[in-house]
Structure 1
């Protein structure tokens, strides 16, 4: 499996270092490097890129500004000398955040994480087939937690939070942690009621109280809208005449 990537950084030495690291990993294919975000944006409009190593602080147009306007962004690994942008990067759904100077071992860890995500997405696309239920769809799900099977009504779910290999289901009066993947629970959730808005969150659409730029508010919890999911989310709201 090959992964096409680009480097965006206004420091020549940083580009040189990351380029050297990329050459050490056989499945990474460097397409181009840019010393500014504007040229990178123009390139990505014409070329398919799966991974971007992106600096944040650049003149005229920052890495954050680039992330905010990308419609269907590729995987993003931020490379920065400052940790103050980490939370913003998380809100914009980046895969990893590397602090300069970057050791090769840390770089390899980030790339491995990216490759695992891409491999899972490709496998999901290959195996995805429409399912036509032969019986009425249930309005509940059973999940295992604390050695018990809990019956949970879909209408009681506020949002679902991913915690590595576990999912935390947030209900009005309790939270239930269960060993389950997003892929598995998405197959049983009614698509007209639930939507993935971030790599770590699925929300109940009728529980939305307010939308603030790149966040959704549900019972005082601010849930980030990931860059990857932003277009589908707002397209859905417009289609349903909610916006």
Structure 2
């Protein structure tokens, strides 16, 4: 499994060091390095990443402000010379906190932790069904029957083979319980079951009579996953 990552660090020597460390780890794929968080925000609107190495004290937009602004949060490893931000970082659910100067051994321990988390989440969730809360009851849904999931303001609409179910849930909660081997987010408003895709044309997925858009922010990761699993040739 390859982990696509970016590094955000305003000190040139520190950014160079992180890049060199990343290049020595075969499961890390550095997409880009940034000397400020604002450019990284623009990049993330067009690309999907698995991991961000993030400095805290930066001009214009701090690492904490950057984290708080993200709607889609990949794994984050904070790299900082200041330990007073550690608590705030963990409140924002960062994967690890590397205190500068850190060694390559400490770096490896940190990225290994992220690798195991991502690998476990991809291989977990082998249940054949889930239970979903609706307005008046709890519905049992067979995972093999789910076609796709659509976001509708505060609700999710789960499209299954014979009906639609509305539930007050978040995409994050749903993705945590669905098997990641088959379900992928392709748009801010859509998760699809890969096995139910009939065709893809002009970045639109056809499932039954429905067309589901693939947004620019998810396109790279989605097609990359299809290639990685050797189901796109």
Q: How far off its partner does 1:72 sit?
A: 1.7
Secondary structure (helix, strand or coil) at the match of 1:56 reads coil
Distance 1:8 1:131 in 2: 38
| TM-score, structure 1 as length reference | 0.53
Alignment of 1:189-228 (within 5 A): none
> Does the C-alpha gap of structure 1 residues 81 and 132 become closer, same or farther in structure 2, counting only changes over 3 Å?
closer
Match of 1:67 in 2: 67
Unaligned segments of structure 1, at least 5 residues? 138-191, 199-230, 232-243
Q: How far off its partner does 1:52 sit?
A: 0.4
Which digits, 9 at most, give the CA deviation of each residue in 1:66-102, with x for residues without a partner? 1001112100000000000000001000000000011
> Does the C-alpha gap of structure 1 residues 132 and 53 become closer, same or farther in structure 2, counting only changes over 3 Å?
closer
Q: How far off its partner does 1:129 sit?
A: 3.7
Distance 2:17 2:114 in 1: 19
Unaligned segments of structure 2, at least 5 residues? 133-137, 139-166, 174-187, 189-233
Match of 1:6 in 2: 6
Distance 1:38 1:55 in 2: 13
Which digits, 9 at most, give the CA deviation of each residue in 1:28-57, with x for residues without a partner? 000000000010011011101000000000
Q: How far off its partner does 1:194 sit?
A: 11
Alignment of 1:93-242 (within 5 A): 93-124=93-124, 127=126, 129-131=128-130
Q: How far off its partner does 1:131 sit?
A: 3.9
Which digits, 9 at most, give the CA deviation of each residue in 1:159-210, with x for residues without a partner? xxxxxxxxxxxxxxxxxxxxxxxxxxxxxxxxx9999x99xxxxxxxxxxxx
Distance 2:44 2:127 in 1: 27
Distance 2:29 2:127 in 1: 28
> Does the C-alpha gap of structure 1 residues 128 and 72 become closer, same or farther in structure 2, counting only changes over 3 Å?
farther
Distance 2:52 2:7 in 1: 6
| TM-score, structure 2 as length reference | 0.56
Match of 1:84 in 2: 84
CA-based RMSD of the aligned residues comes to 2.7
